[in-house]
Amino acid sequence: MRQAMSEAKRTTVVIGAGIVGLTVALELQAAGHHVVVVDPGSPGGRQSASYGHGAWINPASVMPTSLPGLWKQVPGMMRDPVGPFYISRLDMVRLLPWLLRFLWAGSSWTKVETFARQRFELCKGAVEHHAALAEAAGASGMLRREGLVTVFRSREIFARGKKDAAIRESLGIQLGELDAEALRAREPDLADGYTFASVVKDGAYLADTAGYCRALAALLASRGGEVINGRALDFEFDGDRLAAVRTDNSRIDCDTAVLAAGAHSLPLARKVGDRVSMASERGYHVQITGAAAGPRHSLILSDGKVAISPQPGGFRVAGQVELAPIDKAPNWRRADIMLHHAKRGIPALDLGLPEVRIDRWMGHRPSTPDGLPVVGYSSRSRHVIHAFGHGHAGPTMAPATARAVAALAQGRTPAIDLKPCSPRRFRWFNRA
């Protein structure tokens, strides 16, 4: 039996060492808990979505994925061999309950506005929070506060997103703009066809997504926390009190547990009474090292829906949404679509050079139908707290989640309203 309980401090087990688990763990530690993070892989390792995402920490990431009329675009996206979305017919049937909830969540602009307001609260302060953590972890160089740029073929194409712009404006989010000349000065290798960019001026990106997770784990350990290897399997209760988290190789005594296992959280959530609607929106990346051309800063190609970001030794092209069961084998053709977009965005990119290396990766976005994470007390006990389901925006929403979880763990009222994030909201179709 593993004895992690400390006499003086409350012991909290955080299940999952992705960006959400680590950010939560550090907040709980700052609040005086002894924290044990448990994960079968290494912090921010290849098994986690936090290893290979698009690197954006975007305070303007308020729009949910499901929007009115989106379904009309789906057949076109599926027919396009380099399109951003794919689901097989069989998986469509398998994931039907999630898909229906997803369509319902985006069935009116009123609903979308409500979700956007809630997402806004979860995105607020993300860059500042990560900057403070990065500094404490000696990793300030990994957080680049250079603004986030989305490039378009023309200003007219950007201007078609009128509804998005109105929602952002209503929340006080102002985007900057770059004309063709300014864009060229910022990104000399970008294809000439991109002549306009919108800019989230206070956005930032992680220049080493996996390294940042490792740095956070090291910071936690340097302050007396523990990061241990193991797969959490169940919770042990003594009446209403949480007694321990059981893993495949140990039993960890604790007072509180936080479930932050990303897309893998569902079986454990069920053990504490919560049937959550969540699917893996699989995404892919290619990481290119040794190339002569590439981006100077992070950017999104709006037409390919891919993020291109400098990473150690080169750069990464990340994107794609493939809805499929979590245990299905990767379809590496989806990763190769990233190469197509890389070459289209950066025409001087020569992937044939002998020194060029390409690494392909697939990861699971833990996605709820309404684009909001699951944050709150479990149904079984206030000593098990959920912190998963951050979909496309885990790094961005991790800080607000961490602050809310720390408040819940201490019996305080969180600064943000967590009702929309309730694990119990999937019992009925959401009537926002």
Ligand X SMILES: Cc1cc2nc3c(=O)[nH]c(=O)nc-3n(C[C@H](O)[C@H](O)[C@H](O)COP(=O)(O)OP(=O)(O)OC[C@H]3O[C@@H](n4cnc5c(N)ncnc54)[C@H](O)[C@@H]3O)c2cc1C
What's the rounded Cα separation, in Å, for the pair 94 and 289? Answer: 38
Least separation in angstroms between residue 294's CB and ligand X is 17
Whose Cβ is closer to ligand X: residue 105's or residue 362's?
362
**Nearest 10 degrees: Cα torsion 394, 399, 405, 411:** -160
Q: Which two tokens stand for residue 395?
A: 């790094």
Whose Cβ is closer to ligand X: residue 193's or residue 331's?
331
> Among 376, 362, 356, which residue's Cα sits nearest to residue 322?
362
Whose Cβ is closer to ligand X: residue 16's or residue 371's?
16
Least separation in angstroms between residue 174's CB and ligand X is 20
Least separation in angstroms between residue 51's CB and ligand X is 7
> Among 426, 401, 383, 317, which residue's Cα sits nearest to residue 12?
383
23 phi, psi to nearest 5 deg: -65, -40
Whose Cβ is closer to ligand X: residue 364's or residue 425's?
364
Least separation in angstroms between residue 405's CB and ligand X is 12
The answer to whether 116 and 63 are in contact (CB under 8 A) is: yes
Whose Cβ is closer to ligand X: residue 105's or residue 318's?
318
Residues that bind ligand X (CB under 6 A): 15-21, 38-41, 47-50, 53-56, 231-232, 260-264, 283, 285, 307, 318-319, 363, 365-366, 388, 390-396
Least separation in angstroms between residue 116's CB and ligand X is 16
> Among 24, 307, 343, which residue's Cα sits nearest to residue 189?
343
Number of neighbours of residue 224 by Cβ within 10 angstroms? 11
What's the rounded Cα separation, in Å, for the pair 84 and 392? Answer: 14
Least separation in angstroms between residue 343's CB and ligand X is 18
Q: Which residue is nearest to ligand X (CB)?
A: 18
- If 0-12 CB within 10 Å is exposed, 13-18 middle and 19+ buried, where does residue 77 land? middle
Whose Cβ is closer to ligand X: residue 195's or residue 390's?
390
